[in-house]
Chains A and B, each alone.
Chain A
């Protein structure tokens, strides 16, 4: 089964861009790449997802490598409210299985 690998933690300064990497070298051709974040005492919150092309929404951008073996979540201007654990997840189209990485704990310094 494909799985994701993320750094355990990252730090950023407020109002600076943050690039959160994720490796998924055994991804299958039909797996979607999803990102969610989780604040303390809350359930995960959807951030963004994509299949092959880069994606942008109001929260973030997702850059997917051409070979799809890695992706990067980009927060353009980090705020204190962005401090959370970010999960990179693969969702299989054939059986909707979800494989979670261990997540990256993002700390944002004022």
Chain B
């Protein structure tokens, strides 16, 4: 069974641009969640999608958005990039997104904002 796939693996953007990251969950998983990881703030929850609906959201500005498609694939978008958005963006999938389920993480997209 293929794992969680994130594309692209690396991305370099400049301030003010926007970026879209993609996440393909494990087949059969309907919940996809996104996380930001930085050396200073550690791992922080961005949002979770289930059945094409955003179900939970972390404490991030509106520049961070996402969506989920009918095949459970998800994208996240960051508009008007800032230097502080440089981070490893991770997505994870699970069957139903319940608190007692395992999360399966992708390897992440390393975003550098110059």
Residues of chain A whose beta carbon lies under 8 Å from any beta carbon of chain B: 30-32, 34, 36, 41-46, 49, 51, 87, 91-93, 95-103
Whether B99 pairs with A32 at a CB distance below 8 angstroms is: yes
Q: Is the CB of B103 within 8 A of A36?
A: yes
Bound state CA distance, A103 and B42, in angstroms?
8
Q: Which residues of B contact A (CB under 8 A)?
A: 4, 33, 42-45, 48, 55-56, 58, 90, 92, 97-100, 102-108
Chief secondary structure at chain A's binding surface: loop
A103 to chain B: closest residue by CB:
B42
Contacts between the two chains (Cβ within 8 Å), count: 56
Shortest distance from the beta carbon of B105 to any chain A beta carbon, whole Å: 3
Nearest CB of chain A from residue B22's CB, rounded to whole Å: 15
CB atoms of A32 and B90 under 8 A apart: no
- Chain B residues closer than 8 Å to A36, beta-carbon distance: 103, 105
Q: What residues of A have a CB within 8 angstroms of the CB of B45 in the complex?
A: 97-100
